[in-house]
Amino acid sequence: MSIYPPAFADHLGRDVTTVCHCWRLTRTDGIVTGYTDHDWLLTVDGTRFEPETGFSASEARDTLGLAVDTVDVEGALSAANISDEDIAAGLYDGAKVETLLVNWRKPEQFARLRTATIGKITRSDGRFVAELESLVHALDQPNGRYVARACDAELGDVRCGFALAGSAYAATGMASASEERDTIVVSGLDAFEPGWFSHGVLVWTSGGGAGRKNRVVDHRKDMRGVVLTLQQPGPKIEPGDAFSITAGCDRSFATCKSKFSNAMNFRGFPHLPGNDAAYGYVTEGGRFDGGPVVP
């Protein structure tokens, strides 16, 4: 069965055609944008496709079997709605990209060539190259649960079952200074012990990064005040930008039990003997009473 509608197929059969490529990008946060290698603004299938964005595509290939097909899409970071900060923040990781072949004289004539997801993104000299992986790549991903000592739930989700909202485990604050993109001095968290928000999640509620999330690597106090180190560079921060933040969990059984009193919902296997037990040997002073390995 052809993917081309009859009228479009008839156009493609002519000696001269008026076709171009369009890419519809749907980010994981639901924002939809469109780009085209044509020099006109096109509206196709309800989406506006912006011209002159510097987008171009490499050769695409389709193979039989379960191999993952790829194609590279290259573009300039000068496009109004694509920024280096957004890419660095991971907003385009895993985004869905639909490639359309369009008759730019009659945009209602189009065909969807492929649907892919963004895999690896490389950046240099004000440009980016995004590798588009076919949907078959999902078959190459690990599925199911791993049997491990650490918890595999996210703090506060359905599997964890811990209520974060309105408790001492959630707070709000403001940025006071930002010396580096991944390190900020904040106010509003002075009442909390250092490390309370390590491994937590920070969500910007105002400023240029409003709505963005960052994982907190470290929460400490020094001569500057309360300092947060973020896992990846965040958006450009200005003094006064507000955020909400939730306490962090290192996914260990001890933290789940002592910090959150949520041991009954722990989603790991803390008493599972590991290589340290398998390769251990009897030593004087050891405890061999049959008690749990992890208290």
Q: How far apart are CA 4 and CA 20, in angstroms?
A: 14
| Residue 1 or residue 279, greater confidence | 279
How far is the first Cα of the chain from the last one, in angstroms, to the nearest whole number? 62
Q: Per-residue pLDDT tens for 181-214?
A: 788 999 999 889 999 999 999 998 988 778 888 8
Average confidence score pLDDT of the chain: 79
pLDDT of residue 75: 41
Q: Per-residue pLDDT tens for 26-59?
A: 887 788 888 888 888 999 999 999 886 555 555 4
Q: How far apart are CA 170 and CA 83, in angstroms?
A: 30
| Mean pLDDT on 6-31 | 89
Q: How far apart are CA 139 and CA 67, in angstroms?
A: 10
All domains of the chain in start order, with CATH? 6-139 (2.30.110), 170-246 (2.40.30)
The position carrying tokens 């490639």 is 99
Q: How far apart are CA 261 and CA 211, in angstroms?
A: 30
Q: How far apart are CA 16 and CA 280, in angstroms?
A: 76
Per-residue tokens: 97: 């990209």
